[in-house]
Amino acid sequence: MTSLIGSPLPYTDLPSTHGGVINPARLRGLSVIFCYPWTGRPGVENPPNWDLIPGAHGSTPQAQAYAQLHPSFLALNAQIFGISFQEPPWQSEFAIRCSLPFPLLSDADHIFANALRLETFRTGGEDYLKRITLIARDGTIIAARDTIPDPATDAPVVLKTVEGLEETYKTSS
């Protein structure tokens, strides 16, 4: 969604799995925000028709890939955040179970997604975010990736993008 480039991140307080709230508009420096539909939980069935929805599966491998590459993002001074419509307790259980070193943010009220007009899909009477990754600098979107055929490869692709952005930023400063 190149139409998002240049847009400010929404000014809204989102509950964080690291405690408190984080307001995306107030983020300084480089931020990577991967928006994902839903993470499962052992013993809990997927939402209805989940297997039939293109792009629905893959949130766990996507988050785990970001966790694995977290040190590389930090070396570039890039923060990582994950956002979904899931409630904070569900996200916290997932973050602990997967040992995620970065916060997940809950957009359960859809304020962040609605402000950016992010795409969603509906199943089982619930709305879910379509997968998109945003890269922002000082609260403004500078890149967006909405075609993510394999969520497990999103983090390495975005890392390469961030490396390129940082190189460009250094030479233009």
Instruction: Write the pLDDT tens digit of every residue in 82-124.
Output: 999 999 999 999 999 999 999 999 999 999 999 999 999 999 9
What's the sign of the alpha-carbon dihedral 18, 119, 26, 6? positive
Q: Are 39 and 94 in contact (CB under 8 A)?
A: yes
Q: How many independent structural domains does the chain possess?
A: 1
Q: Whole-model pTM? A: 0.94
pLDDT of residue 1: 56
pLDDT in tens, 127-158: 999 999 999 999 999 999 998 999 999 999 99
Question: Which structural domain, as residue segments, surrounds residue 60?
Answer: 2-172
Closest CA to 131 of 96, 111, 155, 115: 155
pLDDT of residue 165: 86
pLDDT of residue 172: 67
The residue among 166 and 22 whose pLDDT is bigger is 22
CATH number at residue 77: 3.40.30.10
DSSP assigned state of 29: S
**pLDDT at position 21 over 90:** yes
